[in-house]
Amino acid sequence: MRSNARFFAAVLVCGAQVTCAGSLLAGRLTPSHLSMPMATLGSLSATPGTITFQATNPDLGAVSGSAPGNITWIVLGGSQTQNWTVTVQAGANSFAGCPTVPISAVRVTCASATVSGSGGNGGCNGSFPLSTTPQQIAGGTQGDGANSYSVSLNFTLAESWRYVANSSCTLTLTYFVSAP
């Protein structure tokens, strides 16, 4: 039996401004300890390593991240009778060091979900504010055999005069990819 799921953590860091200004830092990928008899996940990665928010004017309402986030992986031994999913969750209800900046100030939107290869498909689950509960951002049907998968995410930060940040605001995000 092989590992069927992997996760990685990311950290959102806020700077010392009236509002949040920070980076999303991709962490090292770690295999989970779950085992299933079907597919094997491999070559999981997240790029870019940093997504920056230039939050300088709370009157603008929202600030887009500097680049889309991309999660890519390969499934070996996949089957069209099996599904795949990607979830995201925050590690706390607010930014560490900046309790006035709630995680709901960060919105994640799935821009695309694709499967290259034989017979698989992918779809986005829309857009939502971050939560401490795992939320499925994308999913679909595995392709037969070995296939490449890709999910592109956009992050926006809601600027508000209510959100007071300091020089060390962080938030850990966990992404979980499952392909039984």
Sign of CA dihedral 174, 124, 144, 70: negative
User: From the CA atom positions of the chain, what is the Rg in Å?
Assistant: 17
Contact 73, 149 (CB under 8 A): yes
Q: Report DSSP state, residue 83.
A: E
Q: Which pLDDT score, from 0 to 100, does residue 50 have?
A: 65
Tell me: the pLDDT tens digits for 138-175? 999 999 999 999 999 999 988 777 777 665 677 777 78
pLDDT of 1 higher than 70: no
Q: Which pLDDT score, from 0 to 100, does residue 166 have?
A: 65
- Please state the domain extents for the chain: 2-178
Phi, psi of 29 (to 5 degrees): -80, 135
Tell me: the pLDDT tens digits for 7-17? 444 444 433 22
Tell me: the pLDDT tens digits for 24-50? 333 333 333 333 446 888 888 877 766
Kindly give the pairing relationship between strand 5-14 and strand 22-26: antiparallel
Please compute the mean of the pLDDT values over residues 37-64 and round it to a whole number. 76
Contact 127, 162 (CB under 8 A): no
Tell me: the pLDDT tens digits for 75-128? 999 999 999 999 988 888 887 777 888 889 889 999 999 999 888 999 999 999
Q: Which pLDDT score, from 0 to 100, does residue 37 have?
A: 46
